[in-house]
Amino acid sequence: MSSVGTPDPNSGWLSDEELAETRRRLPLLYVEAVPVRVDGLGRVNEVGMLLRASAEGSITRTLVSGRVMYGETIRDALFRHLEKDLGPMAFPLLPASPVPFQVAEYFPWPGASQFTDHRQHAVSLAYVIPVTGTCEPRQDALELTWMSPKDAASDGIAADMEGGRGALLRAALASVGVLP
Amino acid sequence: MSSVGTPDPNSGWLSDEELAETRRRLPLLYVEAVPVRVDGLGRVNEVGMLLRASAEGSITRTLVSGRVMYGETIRDALFRHLEKDLGPMAFPLLPASPVPFQVAEYFPWPGASQFTDHRQHAVSLAYVIPVTGTCEPRQDALELTWMSPKDAASDGIAADMEGGRGALLRAALASVGVLP
Amino acid sequence: MSSVGTPDPNSGWLSDEELAETRRRLPLLYVEAVPVRVDGLGRVNEVGMLLRASAEGSITRTLVSGRVMYGETIRDALFRHLEKDLGPMAFPLLPASPVPFQVAEYFPWPGASQFTDHRQHAVSLAYVIPVTGTCEPRQDALELTWMSPKDAASDGIAADMEGGRGALLRAALASVGVLP
Amino acid sequence: MSSVGTPDPNSGWLSDEELAETRRRLPLLYVEAVPVRVDGLGRVNEVGMLLRASAEGSITRTLVSGRVMYGETIRDALFRHLEKDLGPMAFPLLPASPVPFQVAEYFPWPGASQFTDHRQHAVSLAYVIPVTGTCEPRQDALELTWMSPKDAASDGIAADMEGGRGALLRAALASVGVLP
């Protein structure tokens, strides 16, 4: 969702030019996911963070994220982006409830929201998703790191995330009762 | 949001032609609101339903609904559409939490979801909104009717609503603990 | 939780007499669960209902339910009652979020709430719980029946449930987007 | 809810002795509220914190909190404790939805949960409550302080709160989209 975070190499039903045009006209719908490991009682004990190299060469941490395409359900979009970012063996457990823990609004200018995205106005439905298999980041992600909820909530991690997503990650932890 | 329900007379940053084109390419983001009256303890005791005449001349019941524009926050969009549909004296109380009670997915074909919209793929964030003032429907709405939660949940009311919104209305009632 | 539904054969840290006394003095804390089957994308496609014979010999439908004991977490209580009612091979997936879809308030008198329990004032945290294994009802449950969300939402099923739990079941379906 | 935070001078339907006995036998049901000020669009811009002097003479910050009595609805309990702690002119707006943003579990021993209460096992339904009037703390509260969400989320404030309630306050801020 950030300018470097989750390029859609396949821009779906829009050419690059059309997508660029649309980005100046409409809010785009995204999904984001915080992958977690849970114990036998459903308690979150680890949080997965993606490491990416940005176009400018810096390293940033990010969440699973991407656009919802025309004709695609939110569940399909979530599953597609989880597979794209975590590999086909991650075995994510999508929640029975389709209500996100948060609706994150990204604007290309500061001040309208906690979140910014210099490319576009995007509205993102954000979910905490337990994964039960083996994660093998693909595409442009360098690595998936698992960390404790406490570490994930730290200021250091927040500083590594683009567009204000540190606040979204903390809200994710709060929604599952593990924010310190 | 229905084909007749909430025309955007002012299509914002898109011409009619551009909007028509975009509708074949991208999911559009909407907000919907179920206006309610609450008692001093916050309990919902009445539900507001809009009556509209459709382009084909039939009468349908509907919810407050409309598009989120480029650069507009969800709260601004909710407020704008509440004012458009209920008048400037409705005094809606927007919730402190921006999380919708439901995310309704409308497709132009049946089967993908409970909800359909023959014009477009729309994703709607739906809220229950207490209103404290006087509602005077404007634009194309004929009337606002207040009814009990029990009446609002009836099969008769659901049958009068377009696009499967009867299910959304029931989910709204369930989210505030008044679905029979 | 109903008078016959979920007897606590082992009343935990209270004798029967003490429990009876406490029931006249304090609201008791319960958990309730609606067991569901989900598909690979997390969508609910079946709902599990327990059949029980009441003390008076009638047959009622009910949910998984039971008290939270002293010193027990809500997750532990949920897991214990799921195992008690569905058997050890049900493999329930407890949600990452500890927030219930509804808080059901049961009073021994009518009118204060949708829900009644002639024995006591009980407050129940209610969850939708996917189960992935084989359910073998134990104890006093005669049978577990799987049905479609549509059938589960019917008036006939609601009429078979004690204490107003038909409304709770419908709220459960609404919370996961499958209430008709 | 803390040992000094919200004494129930009137222990309701239980004598002090009975309450003490019950506290060793059953989880007690509480409600907690984070009072907030919202703007015309429902956005939280201030958070209210109570200052109290503990029995040991130290000053602590706390939330509105108290027990749910036998026969009392959760809404009635919330309203009663808000009035008790904020005075009769606070004019709280109880939410239409009875679902808490978090269920906080307090145990008299560490490790079972983020939250502790040396007196008892308590389960607390926690809400964010906009107040629209004038708050005049009564009883043992020294003062109500309004602060920005950012200040309320700080480590300094968390350190002033008993029983781990700093985490609950942060979860409250996250639930309304204002946790930094």
Cβ distance D177 to B95 less than 8 Å, yes or no, reads no
Which residues on adjacent β-strands are paired with residue C144? C50
CA B90/CA B82 separation, integer angstroms? 8
Residue pair A135/A86 in contact (Cβ under 8 Å)? The answer is yes
CA distance C97 to chain D (A): 9
> Residue A139: which pLDDT band, with cuts at 50, 70 and 90?
low
Instruction: State the average pLDDT for chain C.
Output: 89
Instruction: Mark out chain B residues that contact chain C at CB-CB < 8 A.
Output: 102-103, 114, 167, 170-171, 174-175, 177-180
CA A36/CA A91 separation, integer angstroms? 12
Q: What pLDDT does D9 receive?
A: 41
Residue pair D172/D165 in contact (Cβ under 8 Å)? The answer is no
Q: Which amino acid is at C50?
A: L
Cβ distance D179 to A174 less than 8 Å, yes or no, reads yes
Measured between beta carbons, which residues in chain D are less than 8 angstroms from residue B44? Answer: 96
Mutate to test the interface with B, among A13, A70, A109 (most CBs of B within 10 A): A70
For the cut 80, the answer to whether the pLDDT of residue A4 exceeds it is no
Cβ distance B170 to C177 less than 8 Å, yes or no, reads no
Tens of pLDDT, residues D3-25 = 434 444 444 567 778 778 788 88
CA closest to B104 among chain C residues? C177
CA D90/CA D70 separation, integer angstroms? 25
Q: What pLDDT does C6 receive?
A: 44
In this prediction, residues D157-163 reach a mean pLDDT of 93
Q: What ipTM did this prediction achieve?
A: 0.89
CA closest to C178 among chain B residues? B114
Which of D83, D65, D180 lies closest to D137, judged by CA?
D83
For the cut 60, the answer to whether the pLDDT of residue A1 exceeds it is no
Q: Which amino acid is at D98?
A: P
CA closest to B69 among chain A residues? A26
Tens of pLDDT, residues C41-78 = 999 999 999 998 877 778 899 999 999 999 999 999 99
Q: What pLDDT does D21 receive?
A: 79
Tens of pLDDT, residues A22-64 = 888 899 999 999 999 999 999 999 999 999 887 777 889 999 9
When CB atoms are compared, the residue of C26, C112, C125 closest to D103 is C125
CA closest to A173 among chain C residues? C97
Domains and CATH numbers, chain B: 27-175 (3.90.79.10)
CA A25/CA A4 separation, integer angstroms? 21
Which residues on adjacent β-strands are paired with residue B92? B131
When CB atoms are compared, the residue of D102, D179, D180 closest to A177 is D102
Q: What pLDDT does C141 receive?
A: 66
Cβ distance D174 to A177 less than 8 Å, yes or no, reads no
Query: Quick check: helix, strand or coil at residue C124?
Result: strand
C-alpha B19 chain-centroid distance = 20
Tens of pLDDT, residues B70-111 = 999 999 999 999 999 999 999 999 999 999 999 999 999 998
Cβ distance D25 to C27 less than 8 Å, yes or no, reads no
Residue pair A103/A125 in contact (Cβ under 8 Å)? The answer is yes
Tens of pLDDT, residues B123-151 = 999 999 999 999 988 766 678 999 999 99
Residue A16, class by beta-carbon neighbours within 10 Å (0-12 exposed, 13-18 middle, 19+ buried)? exposed
Cβ distance C130 to A96 less than 8 Å, yes or no, reads yes
CA distance B62 to chain D (A): 21
